[in-house]
Each structure stands twice: as C-alpha cells, then as structure tokens.
Structure 1
Amino acid sequence: MLAGAAIGALVLASLSVASAATAAGPVTTTEHYSFENWACGYPMQVDGQFTSRFRERQSPQGERTLVHENFQFAETWTNAAGASFSVSGKVNSKDLKSTPIGGSTYDVTFQSSGQPQVVTAGGVVISRDRGNLRYHFTTDIQTGAFEFLGAEVNGPHPGFSTDLCKTVAPITGNTSAEHHTPRPLGTTAAGMGYYEYLPPSYAVDGAASPLIIHANGYGENGDGSAAGLENVLGTGIPRFINVGGWPLDRPFVVLSTQHIEQPPGIPIVCDDVPWGGSCIMQKQHDLGHPAVSPCTTPGELHDFIAYAVANYNVDPDRVYVTGLSCGAFGVWEYLAAYGDEQAAAAVPIAGDGRPAWATAGCGLGAVPIWAFHGEFDDVVNPLGSIDPMTALSGCPGVTPDRAQLTIYPGLMHDGWDQAYSGSEGDDIYSWMLSYTRS
C-alpha cells in the first residue's frame, strides 16, 4: 500500500512534467533528501538520493512534447532503535503516444519498465517489483488539467498490494499483528464484526484492561465477514496494529468495529454540494439513524460496548471511544444519545459533531472530548469539529482539558494518521487514561 503509493507518486511526477514541457534535453539531475516518516505508526528517518536523466522530443501528432526519463533512487529507512531497511528502484519511463482529442487536450499512453521498487535488509531482498506498467491519461497542455484513466500492470508488483510497513515489520516494527484477531459477524454474540487486539499484558483473570472502541470510516464498511473485515485494516488504529506499528506496552484492549451499510441504504442525495460528507451525516441524523445508514449508529456503539464489557476482562470505567470520518460522526452521535453511561473519554477525528451539539448541547460535556480535524477538509466541514468544541468550551464545568480541539494545518480529509500515531506530538492515549468514568 505505502510502497505502491510511493511508486505512483514518482510516475505521476513524470506525467505532470510531461504535460507542460517543451522539447529539450537530455538533462541529468541528482537530488539528496532526508525526512522523518511516521507512515508505519512510529518514527523512521529516511535518507536517500534520486537521479534523473530527462529527455524530450516533439510529438509528430501535434504540439505536445513527448518525454523519456531514466531515473533511479536509493534510500534507507531507520527506526529509533537503529534497525533499518533499504528501498531502491531503476525505471525507464516514456510517452508511447500522444493523440490530440480536441483543443489543447491530448490522450496519452505512458510506459514505465524496470524495477520500480526493491526492498532489502542486511543485503537480502525481501520484496521486488519488476515488469512493465502502462498508464493512460488525458492532459491539457494549456490549463494543466490532468485525468488519470487507468493502468495496465505486467510482471510481479507485490508493492502495489502489500503495505510496505507490513513487509518490514519484522525489521523495524514489532509483533503487534500477532495479537490481532478477526471476529467475523456471527462467530460471536456481538451485533457487529470486528478486529480484536489483546495486548501482551491482557489476562482473562486479574487486573482489568482499559478498552478502546474504534469505529471505522465509510471506506472501511463491509459485510462483517472474514473477507469483509479486511477493509478495517486499511487505516486508523487497526492498520497500525496490523503493520507492527502499535507499541506492545500500550495496555489497551482495542476492538475495531465494522459498520454494515445494508442495501439499498437510506434515501440520501448529497451530490454537487459542498462537504458532501457533512450533508450525509446531517441527513442520517435527521432520519434517526436507521440500520441501513452509511455511518456507524449510536445504538450500534452502545450495544457493542455492552457486549465488550460483558465478554472481555476490561474495566467498565475506562472505556474510550474513537472513530474517523463516518466513525467519528457515530462517536459524536453516541455521546449525544448516551453521555457518560459507558464512555470515559472520546476522540472523534474528522467527523461532524454539529448535529450532536444541536441535540445534546452542553450535555456533551459529560464526557471529555478531544476532537481532531484537517484545516482544508473538503468532505466533512471542519466546522463540524470547530463549532461544537468551541461551544462546549463555554459550558459550565467544562475545563479546557475536557474539551480539546486540534486542527491540523494543511490537511484535507485526514488527521487520523497524525492523531493515532502521535506524529504531531499529540498523545491521545495518555490523555484518555487520565480519565475514568465516575
């Protein structure tokens, strides 16, 4: 996953250059780079070098310039303990054809061949992508408009389907995935399928563990089956656990639920409106959260928490709820409906809490909330976090530590990776553990 995205970024960078270039070359450039990467849930230092030999020629079909680039890169990723792996690649990329389709717009076929990614550790190859890729896109050489139309993949490209963090977990990560178990719908008494994480410190008898309930985003919905639950591993806390990025000394039992959007769903039309996610959330709220809703419902969370407390050795006074996007909306609505009946603290990320505030008002203050949002979120309006948290901070008895708001500058519909990993210095886990239900 991460690896495929990195390869794609290199190719798309070449495509964007191709759309605006004028005939010239060849030009050889070398760039050294260094940055800290938290994509796996823990900090890694990345140091690398990228070398490109770039040539251009005039298209015989029109004015657009065709490009041919040979590039190679090599980088080393090192964790805080000094363990490391290397990623390298050698690629030959070129425009195969460029056909005018009207005005200044062209239909382009672009090919990349070679070994776009080789992952090694201690001199041993642990993953290798090789073969040929053909990309199809349109581009407007005057406006810069770009539309990706698809790709053909030939040859083994494990990096496209396997999260790099998962691949390197035995080297720079840990064994948190070994404590992660799918619990498909129907195999337990729960009304939802879920992933179960039991920390090494967990015991059936003895001291009870704190509990985190993680509600999924819309893209992670599924049918609750073993195959469907794979969606849950795509992002958020369950992804970090799955890729060996969840610290083993964190004491939480983590149960990551999957919402089922029953077909045909509810009659929601939110096309061509700003912040379509907020529109959907408002309409689900207005309809009273029927079972066929697109987002996790407050009733689902309430019932699942009751199941969890009854079936795991967890402390009922240290139950924490969190979710991203649709799941965060479910958390907001759950707090409005049930207050502190079950939850000791809540962390909604990129969800719309305005409907919950309209329902419960200062009643939301019964549970400490730390809300997160991206500054430029174009799916769920950032005011969905800003407005209720600003209002809540003015409620009687709500101290600043019980009503925290973090807006991540420059981010769009995101923020969960930063909040859940702590890459921006926000320790939600210590914050949660500082509260018990009373």
Structure 2
Amino acid sequence: MKKKAIKNFGHVLLLGALTMMMSCGKDSIAPQPSLNVDNEAAAVAATGLVTTAFTPQTVGITVKKMDNQRGNISQYLLYIPNGYNEKKTYRWPVVIALHGMGETGSNINVVRNVGLPKVVAGKPFVMIAPQCLRNWWNIATLDVLYSEIIAKYNVDPKRVYLTGLSMGGFTTWDWSILSPQKFAAIVPICGGSNPKNVASIKTTPVWAFHNADDPTVSVWNTRNMVNALKAIGGNVKYTENPTGGHNAWDKAYANAGLYTWLLAQHK
C-alpha cells in the first residue's frame, strides 16, 4: 500500500475509533489506539469495521479462555451454530448472555445448565456466555471481552445482542446504558437499574421479563425501568408473569417469539 493511501486510510480508521472511545463508559479499560498509522490494525479491530481472517470453530458449545485475561472474567462458553464453518464470509448475529450470582465461580460447567446456554442448541446465532469469577460483573472487563469477540469471530457488529438474568439482568441494563452503541437490542430478565439513566437507551429495542411474585429481586425493579422508558417514548416490550418466583428466565428463553424479535433488530 502506498504511503499516501495508508495515511488516508489511517485517518478514516482513527475517526471511527475515536468516536467509539468517546461514547464508551468511563470505566472502560479497552486500550486506545495511538495517533499514528502504524497502529492501523489496532484501529480496525477497535472499530469492528473488519474482522480477522476466517478461523474454523467447533460447532456446539465449547469452553474458551479470554486472550486478554484481566479483571474477574477468564473464560466463557462459546456456542457455534451449524453452518458457521461453511459460510466463511457470512457475519453471524451474536448474543452475549450474562448469568446470575448462583453461577459465579470457576466451574464453567454450571453456566451450561442455566438460562440461554441450556437451550441454545439449534439457534441461528453465535452465543458468548462468560463466567464471573467473583463479586459482580465488571463492565470494564466485559468491554475487553466484547472487543475480543468482534475481532476473533465471524460476527456482525450491527447485530450484537445482550441478555442476562438476575445479576446478569442488572448488568444488562447497566452495560447497555453505559455503551448503547454496542448493542442492537437487549433482553434483561429479573434485573433493574437506575430509571433516571434510561435516556441513553431510548432507541435501543428492549424486551424485559420479570415475575410478579419474585421474592429475590422485586418486580418493581423492572417495572420502574420499563415505565421510565415508556415515559420518554422508548422502544420497550415487557412480559410479566404473575407467578414463577425468581426464575423468570426459563419461560423467557423458551419463548420462540423472543428469538424472532431479537434477530430482527440491528443497528
């Protein structure tokens, strides 16, 4: 590539990368590209404009280690759908699924048996289900994982979806509020956040779920978020079951209509 062409291309990439950096949450720890064209590849990866060369993956669920381990996430479940290895130029939708407090720890197998990983077989998207090692989901670490996913797998940056249950439901709200540009739609289940902060996700498609008799996380956590979004004209759907206790996720992820709706959303 000639020097002039490289320079112009670098300017375009830097503009996109700087725009993304300005819109990320204040606790993001994703590395910032230097202001020179020698870091062209890093700028490309940061913007998600181009992914790496195609790498075949094992179909089904496997366990993967983060390439850039930091914070309280070191591994995740990767689900690869049928046809992934044959469609080498196709960019797949990807769903990031965040578990609840009960799956915190280092035994990744417990994540397989709860929520979306339990029912993901046969679904036409890539799934990433990280495991929180301790405490609470760290959004700065999730930002690092997000960048790794976009750069490493054949996924579409315009069709990245976020869902989570309980602790993961809270973080689904919080992460999307901090970085709304990352997600084409979100599905928070029995979670909540500060309803005063919903303006940033006014245009983000949301489908929330909760059970009215939840003894662990009050249903008002979701009701308040949904009502706040409705008040500003947000794009929000809400399913509230009268019974079921804290487990609102089994019904939610068994709803075929959820996936039809989810995969119809894009940036």
Q: Is the 8 A contact 1:371 1:405 kept in 2?
A: yes
Match of 1:419 among 252, 264, 267: 252
**Alpha-carbon separation, structure 1, partners of 2:119 and 2:77:** 13
Give the SS at the match of 2:124: coil
Q: Which amino acid aligns with 2:129?
A: S
Partner of 1:434: 264
Of the candidates 146, 150, 155, which is equivalent to residue 305 of structure 1?
Answer: 146
User: In structure 2, what residue type is equivalent to 1:199?
Assistant: P
- d(CA) in 2 for partners of 1:235, 1:202: 24
Distance in 2 separating the partners of 1:190 and 1:418: 33
Output the amino acid matched with 2:112.
Answer: L
Spell out the pairing of 1:263-342 with structure 2 (5 A cutoff): 294-339=135-180, 341-342=181-182
One-letter code aligned to 2:64: R
| Structure with more helix by fraction | 2
Assess, with a 3 A threshold, how the Cα gap between structure 1 residues 388 and 295 changes in structure 2: closer, same or farther: same
Distance (Å, rounded) in 2 between the aligned partners of 1:414 and 1:310:
34
Partner residue of 2:115?
236
- In structure 1, how many angstroms separate the alpha carbons of the residues matched to 2:89 and 2:69? 24
How far 1:256 sits from its partner (Å)?
0.6
Contact 1:393 1:403 in 2 (8 A): yes
Structure 2 residue identity aligned to 1:419:
A
**1:321 shift after superposition:** 0.3
1:194 matched to 2:94? The reply is no
Separation in structure 2 between the aligned mates of residue 304 and residue 430 of structure 1, nearest angstrom: 26
8 Å CA contact 2:176–2:182 kept in 1: the answer is no
Residue 298 of structure 1, CA deviation: 2.5
TM-score by length of 1: 0.45
User: Which of 184, 199, 216 pairs up with 1:344?
Assistant: 184
The match for 2:90 among 195, 201, 207 is 207
The alpha-carbon deviation at position 297 of structure 1 amounts to 2.8
What aligned pairs does 1:134-213 form with structure 2 within 5 A after superposition? 179-184=60-65, 188-189=67-68, 191=70, 192=73, 193-203=75-85, 205-213=88-96
**Counterparts of 1:361 and 1:314 in 2: how far apart (Å)?**
27
Q: How far apart are the structure 2 equivalents of 1:178 and 1:207?
A: 16
1:222 has 2:105 as partner: yes
Q: 1:253 pairs with 126, 129, 136, which one?
A: 126
Q: CA deviation at 1:302?
A: 2.4
Deviation at 1:178, TM superposition (A): 6.2
Residue 393 of structure 1, aligned match among 201, 221, 230:
230
Q: Percent identity?
A: 29
Deviations 1:265-288 (A, max 9, x none): xxxxxxxxxxxxxxxxxxxxxxxx
1:373 is the counterpart of 2:214: no
Q: Secondary structure at the match of 2:199?
A: helix
Deviations 1:8-43 (A, max 9, x none): xxxxxxxxxxxxxxxxxxxxxxxxxxxxxxxxxxxx
Residue 120 of structure 1: aligned partner: none
2:114 and 2:243 mapped to 1: Cα distance? 20
Aligned equivalents of 1:331, 1:196: Cα separation in 2 = 19
Q: Matches of 2:129 and 2:145 in 1, distance apart? A: 10
Note closer, same or farther for the CA distance 1:178–1:207 as it changes in structure 2 (3 Å cut): closer
- Greater strand fraction, Structure 1 or Structure 2: 1
Equivalence for 2:24: none
Structure 2 letter corresponding to 1:232: V
| Whole-angstrom distance in 2 between the partners of 1:310 and 1:365 | 28
* Aligned-pair CA distance for 1:361: 3.0
**Number of residue-to-residue matches in the alignment:** 206
Q: Distance in 2 between matches of 1:330 and 1:238?
A: 18
Alignment RMSD (CA, Å): 1.8
Distance in 2 (CA, whole Å) between partners of 1:183 and 1:255 is 10
Structure 1 residue 190, shift from structure 2 partner:
5.3
Distance in 2, matches of 1:304 and 1:406, equals 29
Distance 2:210 2:125 in 1: 24
Structure with higher RCO (Cα < 8 A, 6+ apart): 2
CA deviation string 1:24-73 (max 9, x = no partner): xxxxxxxxxxxxxxxxxxxxxxxxxxxxxxxxxxxxxxxxxxxxxxxxxx
C-alpha separation in 1, matches of 2:141 and 2:214: 26
